């Protein structure tokens, strides 16, 4: 059988044979495309902060004044080898998945080798693990030593199948590791983290070519520590996540940007337009390796997760450019 070719007889390469398309990232709850919204919580329940902790620090670490992010005391994990863990115990199983939207804490890496991993999971009072063990690496920009960084993880990502009593951080992959931790909270209320998703329909495979992000905002506030006119920047980060849905959540890669330095360092500026009313529109593009993102049916997805208040932006939307491959029935 002859290969597909152009009218002049030139053979088409595999990428050229795909049917090109574009799809917007849409809210999984409202189907809206507008991402200039609030994704923060308004109510917090304390787990541990060293000063007025509600849960018990059960293993690995001591409360120290020099390890505090705020207040008097923070947690020094000490130098830990692979497999050791820091664990907090509430004393009884509770419905974490049904009661809260995110878990958050502050961390300062003191010793963390390249390619190391810090994992996080929930356990029952009997020590069972009814959900997914996640990597903290997937929810932060980096592990810069001696720098405080906030971590916010949606509870849904743990896929909890039962009530749980313990929160555990595992020093995984490589050691030694050492951290200062502070201000562990369970958060709910408000709008919570909002997820904007794109996935291929049944019967098609989408080969991702690029992701476009369109931002419009006032002309001020585009310095290295802010995002448009959001004065405080992105404490939790603008998170793009490629992962697999289901009980056994599998994350292929994530990209998290907390400042404009990180944002413009990872995305390319396709174009920018300045309007007469002092508004600026910037179109950013991300072009992953062609084979690194392939969406198969709707079980593999690309998500933008909004965990900060971005409602001060004029516009924020994202689009996926792809080549469509039809799956024979």
The CA distance from 274 to 267, in Å, is 19
CB 166 within 8 A of CB 61: no
The pLDDT, as a whole number, for residue 68 is: 96
How sure is the predictor about 10, in pLDDT bands with cuts at 50, 70 and 90? low
The pLDDT, as a whole number, for residue 205 is: 86
How sure is the predictor about 14, in pLDDT bands with cuts at 50, 70 and 90? very low
The CA distance from 299 to 295, in Å, is 8
The pLDDT, as a whole number, for residue 7 is: 54
pLDDT in tens, 262-306: 888 888 888 777 776 788 888 999 988 655 788 877 788 999 999
pLDDT in tens, 102-151: 999 999 999 998 889 999 999 999 999 998 899 999 898 888 899 999 99
Q: What is the mean pLDDT of residues 78-105?
A: 95
The pLDDT, as a whole number, for residue 228 is: 84
How sure is the predictor about 195, in pLDDT bands with cuts at 50, 70 and 90? very high
CB atoms within 10 A of CB 305: 23
Q: Give the residues across from 153 on adjacent strands.
A: 103
The pLDDT, as a whole number, for residue 1 is: 40
Non-local (6+) Cβ contacts of 156 within 8 A are 97
Query: What does pTM read for this prediction?
Result: 0.82
pLDDT in tens, 214-246: 999 888 778 777 888 787 778 888 999 988 886
Non-local (6+) Cβ contacts of 302 within 8 A are 25, 197, 198, 199, 208, 211, 240, 241, 242, 293, 295, 320
Q: Answer yes or no: is pLDDT of 209 > 50.
A: yes
The pLDDT, as a whole number, for residue 2 is: 47
Q: Answer yes or no: is pLDDT of 93 > 90.
A: yes
The pLDDT, as a whole number, for residue 247 is: 52
Among 164, 144, 146, residue whose Cα is nearest residue 155 = 164
The pLDDT, as a whole number, for residue 12 is: 46
Domains of the chain: 14-39+191-326 (2.60.120), 43-188 (2.60.120.260)
Q: For the chain, what percent of residues have pLDDT higher than 90?
A: 52
pLDDT in tens, 151-194: 999 998 898 989 999 999 999 988 799 999 999 999 999 888 99
Q: Which residue has the higher pLDDT, 38 or 192?
A: 38
The pLDDT, as a whole number, for residue 291 is: 56
pLDDT in tens, 316-329: 999 999 888 877 65
Long-range contacts, 220-224 (Cβ 8 Å, 24+): 220/278, 222/260, 222/280, 223/260, 224/259, 224/260, 224/261
The pLDDT, as a whole number, for residue 17 is: 65
Give the H or E element holding residue 88. strand 85-94
Burial group, residue 302, by CB count within 10 angstroms (0-12, 13-18, 19+)? buried
């Amino acid at each position: 059988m002859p290969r597909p070719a152009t009218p002049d007889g030139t053979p088409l390469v595999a990428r050229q044979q795909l049917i090109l398309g574009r799809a917007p990232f849409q809210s999984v709850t409202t189907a809206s495309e507008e991402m200039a919204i609030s994704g923060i919580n308004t109510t917090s329940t304390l787990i541990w902060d060293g000063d007025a902790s509600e849960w018990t620090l059960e293993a690995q670490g001591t409360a120290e004044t020099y390890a505090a992010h705020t207040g008097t005391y923070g947690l020094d994990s000490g130098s830990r080898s692979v497999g050791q863990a820091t664990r907090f115990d509430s004393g009884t199983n509770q419905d974490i998945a049904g009661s809260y939207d995110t878990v958050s804490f502050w961390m300062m890496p003191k010793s963390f080798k390249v390619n190391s991993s810090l994992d996080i999971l929930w356990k029952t009072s009997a020590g069972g693990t009814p959900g997914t063990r996640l990597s903290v690496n997937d929810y932060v920009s980096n592990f810069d030593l001696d720098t405080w960084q906030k971590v916010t993880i949606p509870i849904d990502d743990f896929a909890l199948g039962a009530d749980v009593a313990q929160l555990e951080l595992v020093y995984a992959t490589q050691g030694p590791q050492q951290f200062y931790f502070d201000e562990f909270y369970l958060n709910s209320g408000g709008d919570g983290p909002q997820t904007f998703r794109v996935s291929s329909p049944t019967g098609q495979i989408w080969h991702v070519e690029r992701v476009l992000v369109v931002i419009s905002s006032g002309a001020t506030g585009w310095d290295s520590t802010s995002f448009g006119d959001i004065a405080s920047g992105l404490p939790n980060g603008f998170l793009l996540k490629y992962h697999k849905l289901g009980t056994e959540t599998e994350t292929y890669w994530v990209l998290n940007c907390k400042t404009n330095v990180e944002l413009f360092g990872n995305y390319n500026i396709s174009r920018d337009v300045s309007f007469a009313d002092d508004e600026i529109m910037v179109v950013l593009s991300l072009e992953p390796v062609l084979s690194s993102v392939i969406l198969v049916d709707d079980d593999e997805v690309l998500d933008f997760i909004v965990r900060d208040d971005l409602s001060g932006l004029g516009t924020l939307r994202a689009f996926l450019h792809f080549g469509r491959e039809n799956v024979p029935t």
